[in-house]
Every structure is written in structure tokens, then in C-alpha cells.
Amino acid sequence: MSTDTGPAIELRGASKIFRTPSGGLHTAVRELDLTVARGEFVAVVGPTGCGKSTTLTLVSGLEEPTDGEVLVAGQPVEGVGDKVGFVFQQDATFPWRTVLSNVMAGPRFRGVPKAEAKAKAREWLARVGLASFEDRYPHQLSGGQRKRVALAATFVNDPEILLMDEPFSALDVQTRALMSDELLELWEGTGASVVFVTHDLEESIALADKVVVMTAGPATVKQVFDIDLPRPRKVESVRLLPEFIDIYREIWESLGEEVRITRERGAADVA
């Protein structure tokens, strides 16, 4: 961890305008102001197509803002840094590599000696319950198991910042809840700051310290809600708490309006 104590992530008036293939301009996000403290778990919710993934690409350094600033650990983001880990909806595993080799890939890439990388990879595989699966290939695993490999392959790099883009959306409901619990367990020991993008409000409340509601596209921050539910949490039980139901209702009032606006524009222009 770096020594300065400022926020982990800051977006200041960040906008992103894309040039479309037909030569037009498309504003994906506008004047975003967002702060993520160190060790904080922030969930970002918003209607489909509003600009959530674009926001993450700005933080990751995959894209530069057209206007405004994006800072990580107090420094302007320049390219993809090694402090940042990603988990996406699609599996990011190498299909031709075994589970162990997949999890070793990050440390090896960063020059960690093989024996050490292997030991670290095995430690993380054990933590995600895949110790006995290290010789399998990704196609020989279930969707949930592949997601566990992706989590191990991310956490093994000790990321200071974890960017997650609807990582569990493709999983069935029960596996999703299990993965959420597992993510919280893995994260709680690390001190990493998380930005977790989802269109699922329940998921966002169950996981996060703070839920950021985005407007209909082009997205900007509409409202930020603090989630004061106790930790450690188990998603299946936390969502039954009366406080959960109250905050759900409150946030839905804000989010639901943006979802309606997006729907009324028609499904045609939301990808």
C-alpha cells in the first residue's frame, strides 16, 4: 500500500465522449464526481447502457476522460497500473492453461519467481475452495468455479483497487449469492478499495459500504447512499433485515426513476 492517506479513487468532473463509427459524438458519462476511500466497497448502480462500464474504464486507465480528472492514490491515471485488478462478467481465464497456471499468470508476468508464484496461487486456490481442481482446464469447471478461478487470479496480485463489472451477472441466483459471500470474505482481509458495478440493487446493498446511483445515460452521479449494515455479512440473511428493506426502498425511489426514463426512450438505443 502506498503511504499517502488520501482517497483511493477520485473522479472530478470526468466526462467521456466517444466518436462513433459513423463519425458522430456520443457522450457516455458526464461530469462525474466520485470518491472512493481506501478500503471502501462502493457499488455503482444505474440503468442498462447509462455509462457504468465506461466509468470503470476511466478508473482502470483503459480510456482517458475527455474532460475532468481521474486520480488513483492521488495521481492522475496514466494507462493501466499494476495496483488495479479487474473482474468482468465474461470469464477472463486462459482456456489453454490449467487452473493453477491461470492463477500463477499474474505473479509470473510481474516477475515473481516460479516457486513463489505457485505457492501463492495454491494459497488463493485453497481460499476459494479449488485446491483439488488445480490441474483442470477452465472448460472442465462450472460457471461458479470459473468465477472462483477469476477471483483467485485477481486477489493473488494483491490489488489495491478492485474493479468489478457485473462479475456475477451470468451466474444462476444461488451461485451468485455464494459468490457474493465469498467475495466479501476474500476482500475483508485485503484492505483493497472496490468499485463494483451492477444493475442489481439488492446485490449492491448486500455488498457495499456506499451505493452510488447513476442517472439515465449519459450517466452522472445522481445520489450516494451510505449502507450501515453490520459486517461480516451473508447476503441471504442480510437482505431479510428490516434496515435492508428500508434502504432498498429508499434507493429504488431514486434508481427506479432513471430506469423508467431509460425504458421510455425505448430498448433500441440501450445496448
Ligand X SMILES: Nc1ncnc2c1ncn2[C@@H]1O[C@H](COP(=O)(O)OP(=O)(O)O)[C@@H](O)[C@H]1O
Closest CB to ligand X among 52 and 118?
Answer: 52
**52 is an interface residue for ligand X by CB under 6 A:** yes
Query: By the 8 A CB rule, do 58 and 16 touch?
Result: yes
**28 is an interface residue for ligand X by CB under 6 A:** yes
Q: What is the dihedral of CA 231, 232, 234, 239, to 10 degrees?
A: -10
CB of 25 to ligand X, least distance (A): 9
CB of 33 to ligand X, least distance (A): 17
Helices and strands: H and E segment counts in the chain: 8, 10
Backbone phi, psi, residue 255, to 5°: -70, -40
Is the link from the previous residue into 218 a cis peptide, with omega within 30 of 0?
yes
Q: Which single residue is written with the C-alpha cell 468532473?
A: 13
Closest CB to ligand X among 14 and 156?
Answer: 14
Looking only at residues 199 through 238 of this chain, which bind ligand X when binding is defined by CB under 6 A?
A: 217
Output the 3-class SS for 213-258.
EECCCCECEEEEEECCCCCCCCHHHHCCCHHHHHHHHHHHHHHHHH
Chosen residue from 46, 65, 107, 167 binding ligand X by CB under 6 A: 46
Closest CB to Mg ion among 53 and 154?
Answer: 53
**50 is an interface residue for ligand X by CB under 6 A:** yes
CB of 73 to ligand X, least distance (A): 24
**53 is an interface residue for Mg ion by CB under 5 A:** yes
Residues interacting with ligand X, by CB under 6 A?
Answer: 18, 20, 26, 28, 46, 48-54, 217, 271
Residues interacting with Mg ion, by CB under 5 A?
Answer: 53
